Amino acid sequence: IKENMPIIYGVTSTYKRYLQLPELTRLSQTLLHIPKFHWILTEDSYQKTKTVTKFLQKSGLNYTHLNTKNNIPPTKFIKDYNTRRMGLNWIRENVPPTKDAIMYFIDDDNTYSFKLFDEIRATKRAAVWQVGLVGGILNEGPVKCENGKVLEWKAYWWPDRLIPIDMAGFAVHVKLLFERPKAEFRDLPDMESDFLSSLCVTRDNIEANNCNDVLVWHTQTKTPEIEGNEILPRQYKTTQRKLTT
């Protein structure tokens, strides 16, 4: 591990569901391999849940555990609007402006290659890469670049967005957050490109060091069909077998 490498602050929103703990567990197993990483995990809840608290305590990761309720007041487009904003605000309030650090938004249901974090750590101001299985196509984002600049973008959904990229497809150096203290998320369908625009990031000046590899995928785990309702008394039966000696 190089002592002078920048730290990565990974911001994740999470909410209670059957798949929450399995997906957080899978994600944490990836993050355990990433040096100089701090996880900011924000729950969509009125209070920190025991499930996530115990999970983080046993995770072996450096973390900050936050909570706030989404959809208060109601949002029209972005379901995890408040939790993302809270993670962003935590960085502004707790990370020194001069610190060499990168902010990256990590969805708890995505799949990440170790190599992606090398790309993230190379970010000088704002960097972009492809995301797989998103926007109705196999991969979205920059597909041709030269000398660190994007020459060609690939997108199916709303290709004329300011920067046609998924939330998993970019990272920002924290110094930008302090240079543009009013930059924020807004409840818009193109929240990602609007946020980057508020940081004065454009298609022309965003960094692109790898336009060939897909290193993050917007995977979707199938929600299991659970019989009955866990809030009600359990309806299933257990069976026991006597051991013979």
Active-site residue among 23, 140, 192, 207?
192
Residues contributing to the annotated binding site: 109
Q: What are residue 30's phi and psi, to 5 degrees?
A: -70, -45
Beta bridge partners of 131: 140
Residues contributing to the annotated binding site for Mn(2+): 109
Task: Lay out the sheet containing 131-134: strands in order across.
Answer: 111-112, 216-217, 131-134, 137-146, 149-154
CA geometry: angle 28, 120, 106, nearest 5 deg = 40
Query: Residue 179 catalytic?
Result: no
What the block records as the tokens of 86 is 């809270």
Question: Among candidates 188, 143, 144, which has minimal Cα distance to 167?
Answer: 188
Question: Among candidates 115, 127, 110, 105, which has minimal Cα distance to 40?
Answer: 105
Question: Among candidates 96, 107, 104, which has minimal Cα distance to 132?
Answer: 107
Catalytic residues: 192
